[in-house]
Amino acid sequence: MASDARVSKKAAAMALAAVAGMSLTSIPAAAAVRPTARQPVETAPGAQAASVPGIPKPPTGLSALSWLVADADTGNVLAAKAPHRKLAPASTIKTLFAVTVLPKFTSGTVRRVSTADLAGLGSGSSVVGVKAGRRYTVDDLWRGVFLRSGNDAVHVLAAMNGGWRKTAQEMEQNARRLGAHDTTVKSPDGYDVPGQVSSAYDLTLFARAGLANDDFARYCGTPRARFPSVGGTPIENSNRMLAGSHGVSRYPGIIGVKNGYTSKAGNTLIAAARRNGRTLLVTVLNPQSKVANGVYKEAGSLLDWGFRSAGTAEPVGTLHAVQGTSDGRPLLPAAAQANAVGVHPGSRWRPALVLGAGLAGAAAVGLTGLLAMGRRVRGRGE
């Protein structure tokens, strides 16, 4: 009987691996295939990168708890470390907030801010300086969100969207539509709240979806702007890799996306850069080195490696595919549309989005749930 049980368990494991192996492009290979020298499973120690002769290995000495390098045009994951590890995202979760809320209001819409709009702003939050009683355009508010990571601006936009809780629920729903299953939203601004988590994989998905929208790309790529107040206070993007500030040089080809920090999350960053017709995305979560500007240095070294290797490096997985829409709605998944290509019609960037089979999406849900390792989060806000 014991022998029969062992055989049954082995058969079940082989069946699960077979289902995963049948999936096409919308499930990360690291979570979908059995371990080999070229495609290690997510639980393997260290970084995941295919070993190919003549292709440089990813940089050593990276201290981040989780990171991922992807080709934004094809969706190929070039290398990763613990891509589905659930961690506090800090303000990088504002990418999902923007993907969810930004299409709903025209940039010229004016909001007279009330005291209720700013209620619940967490102690120690990063703010851009939104004041109750003043009028702001939606364009102003989004610059406050992207440049200064203003939680006050997020609160106003969430109030316009129907409230804090409704916005958090919509963000989670949108995350699932995009194929992101590691993300739980409790506070749309990224403030440390118990239970709020995301992953390098999910955050990369949000950034990729966002960059297919012209407005998102414009806001996240703006180094400096003016914010309405007495005299029009100048503001600088807190993403040092974009602004070229605080001892960090502007990264060549940088086009965004979003940085963050909280006491629980540590430093977090999603960075996108374009060179020679190729766009790469790098997400870095919580470097442990304590080196000044460590998150930017690690992201820069990963981008450097990606540009040296892109086009020749063997992918270790694929980002869940999404399809653009022509009516301004948030991007939705297109896993069921096998062998199709979706491009946001108004995008300057126009990524080629690789689509997969519906079975792949179903397998991704089950396998991601089995493999992801979560941790509860607490702490003070950004």
Tokens of 140: 């102003």
Count of residues making up the chain: 382
Whole-angstrom distance between the N-terminal and C-terminal Cα of the chain? 57
Annotated catalytic, 258?
A: no
Q: Which of 23, 149, 198, 309 is catalytic?
A: 149
Q: Which of 91, 125, 187, 309 is catalytic?
A: 91
Q: Encode 138-171: b = buried (16+ Cβ within 10 Å), e = exposed.
A: bbbbbbbbbbbbbbbbbbbbbbbbeebeebbebb
Residues facing 67 on adjacent strands: 81, 284
DSSP 315: P
Secondary structure of 35-86 as H, E, C letters: CCCCCCCCCCCCCECCCCCCCCCCCCCCCEEEEEEEECCCCEEEEEECCCCC
CA 195 centroid distance within chain: 18
CA 305 – CA 79 distance, rounded (Å): 10
Paired sense of beta strands 110-112 and 135-137, if any: antiparallel
Phi, psi of 168 (to 5 degrees): -60, -40
Q: What angle do CA 122, 180, 199 make, to 5 degrees?
A: 60
- Please enumerate, as own/partner, the contacts of 271-275 that have beta carbons within 8 Å and a separation of 24 or more: 271/239, 271/241, 271/299, 271/300, 271/303, 272/72, 272/207, 272/211, 273/303, 273/307, 274/349, 275/307
- Sign of the C-alpha dihedral computed for residues 122, 124, 126 and 130 taken in this order: positive
CA 249 – CA 260 distance, rounded (Å): 18
Tokens of 160: 């316009």
Q: Which of 86, 94, 264, 297 is catalytic?
A: 94
Q: 3-state class of 269 per DSSP?
A: strand
Which of 296, 176, 305 lies closest to 248 in space, CA to CA? 296
Annotated catalytic, 94?
A: yes
DSSP 283: E
Annotated catalytic, 81?
A: no
Tokens of 241: 């890799």
Residues annotated as part of the active site: 91, 94, 149
